[in-house]
Amino acid sequence: WRPGRQRLLLSPVPQPATFSTTCARCSKNRRLRQKRVLSERKLTRYFVDHRRVRVVGGQGGGGGHSFYSEPRKIFGGPDGGNGGDGGHVILKADQQMKSLSSVLSFYQGFHGEKGGRKNCYGANGASVYVKVPVGTLVKEDGKVVADLSQHGEEYVAAYGGAGGKGNRFFLSNENRAPTLFTPGEPGQERVLHLELKTTAHAGLVGFPNAGKSSLLRAISRAKPAVAAYPFTTLNPHVGIVHYQDYEQVAVADIPGLIKGAHQNRGLGMAFLRHIERCRFLLYVVDLSVPQPWIQLQDLKYELEQYKKGLSERPCVVIGNKIDLAQSRINLPLLKEQIDERVIALSALTGDNLEELFLHLRELYDTYVKTEQSRGQSPVKW
C-alpha cells in the first residue's frame, strides 16, 4: 500500500508458486494490521432490503372564480384562472444509498395552488423525490413495474392530479358570464413494494464460516463482522477493490448458504436474490474440511435450483485457510476433482492475495469488454 494514497499497487504477474506469492514478513505485517472487530448488530442496524411504501400524488389546485371589474368597465367578464397541477412522487436511484432504511412508509406530492384573479394560473405543486439504492425493484401486486438498475434512473411512482378549470375556461358565445369552475383532481394513490438486490461486480459465495467476511476485510475497506460461529454475516456487505488505474471493482459478501437454501432454509432465499446482480462469482471453499470439493458442488446446486443458469456465470474457486496444515493436504485433491481455476490463499495472514487481485481484474476487464461489445454500458463504481 502506498502511504497517503490508499490504493492497491499491482506488481507484474507473479510466477506460479506452491502456495503463496508473498514473503513471511509481509504476511506477519498483514496479521498485525488486522481491522478492528465489529459486531454485526452495529453494522447492519440500518440495513433494510424490503420496504412497503404508500405513495400519493399531490392534489391539483381548484379553478378560480372571479369577474373582472374596474372603473368604467364594470362587466369585464370572467377572469378566474386554472389551478396548478399536483406534484408527482418520483423514485430515483442513487449510488450513495446502500439500503432502504431511509425510505419512509408514506410519501405525498405537494398540492397545486388555486387559480387566481386576472387569469392568473395557480403554481404547480413540487414533486417529491425519494432516493433509493441502485438495484431496487419496484413491485405492485406482485408484478415488477420498474427496475432501477442505473445511477440516476427515475420512476414516477404516483402522478399528481390535474388542476381545476377556472370560470374563464368556460367562456363562450352562448355563455358570456359563466359561473362554473371545477376543483382540482386528486393525485394517484398506490401501494408499492420495494425490494433491494445488491449490485456488485463479484459475489462471494460460500458456506458459513468459510472465510468470506475475512476475505472481504482483507481486500477492501469493508468491515463485516467476523466471528467463530456460523451465520456471523446477516446482511450483504459490499467492499470496493481499488486499482492503480483508478478502476474500482465491487465485491459483495453474501451471507452464508446451506443445503436447502433454495427452499428457504437457513437465511434462504432472502439473500439468494442478491447473487442475481453479480456479474461473476467467487466461490469461497474451506480447504481445512474433508472433501472440500463437495462444498462447491452443493453451492452450485443451490444456485441452479434458485435460478437456472446462475451457476454458469464466470467464476473462480478460492481455497481459503491455506495457512492450516490440513488445507495444504486437501489442495491438490481439490484441483484434481474440479475443472475451475483454484486460488489458494489465507484471508487471515494475507498469503497469495496478489493472485486473487490479478484474476479479479481479469474477470472485470472481460465483463467490461463483453458489455461494450453488446452496446451496453458496464456498471461502474
Report the chain's C-alpha Rg in angstroms: 29
Separation CA 52–CA 350 (nearest Å): 43
pLDDT at 56: 95
Give all strands (DSSP E) within 197-300, no chain letters. Answer: 202-205, 237-242, 248-253, 280-286
**pLDDT, position 205:** 86
**Is the whole model's pTM more than 0.75, yes or no?**
no
- Name, in order, each residue with C-beta under 8 angstroms of 39's C-beta and a sequence gap of 6 or more: 225
Is residue 91 a contact partner of residue 138, using CB atoms and an 8 Å limit? yes
What are the residues whose beta carbons fall under 8 Å from the beta carbon of 207, sequence distance 6 or more?
Answer: 256, 257, 258, 286, 295, 298, 299
Domains annotated on the chain, with CATH: 47-197 (2.70.210.12), 202-374 (3.40.50.300)
| Predicted local distance difference test score (pLDDT) of residue 83 | 93
β strands within 9-49, DSSP E: none
Specify whether the backbone of 235 is left (phi greater than 0), alpha (psi in -120 to 50) or beta.
beta
- Give φ, ψ of 320 to 5 degrees: -90, 165
Owner of C-alpha cell 459465495: 205
The residue behind cell 419512509 is 104
Say what the pLDDT of residue 86 is: 95
Beta bridge partners of 189: 56
Quote the DSSP letter at residue 173. S
* DSSP tag of 65: -
CB count within 10 Å of CB 221 equals: 12
- Tell me how far apart the alpha carbons of residues 83 and 188 are, in angstroms, rounded to a whole number: 17
User: From CA 167, how far away is CA 180, in angstroms rounded?
Assistant: 5
Residue 321 zone, left/alpha/beta (φ > 0; ψ -120 to 50; rest): left
β-bridge mates for residue 222, sequence order: none
- Report whether 60 contacts 85 (CB < 8 A): yes
Pairing mode, if any, of strands 128-133 and 136-140? Answer: unpaired
On whether the CB atoms of residues 133 and 80 are closer than 8 A, the answer is no
| pLDDT score for 5 | 46
In this prediction, residue 92 carries a pLDDT of: 95
Tens digit of each residue's pLDDT, the chain (381 residues) = 444 444 444 444 444 444 444 444 454 444 445 555 544 444 444 456 778 999 999 999 999 888 887 777 777 788 889 999 999 999 999 988 877 888 899 999 999 999 988 889 999 999 999 999 888 889 998 898 998 888 889 999 999 999 999 988 888 888 888 888 999 999 999 999 998 877 778 888 888 878 888 888 888 876 665 544 444 445 577 778 888 888 888 888 877 565 544 444 444 455 677 777 788 898 998 888 888 888 888 888 888 887 888 888 888 999 988 888 888 898 898 888 888 889 999 888 888 889 999 999 999 999 999 888 988 877 776
The identity of residue 117, as a single letter, is: R
CA torsion 293→298→299→301, rounded to 10°? Answer: 130
Rounded CA separation 169/180 (Å): 9
Buried b (16+ CB within 10 A) or exposed e, 96-121: ebbbbeebeeebbbbbbbbbbeebbb
Q: Residue 46 has what pLDDT?
A: 46
Three cell numbers written together for 266: 437457513
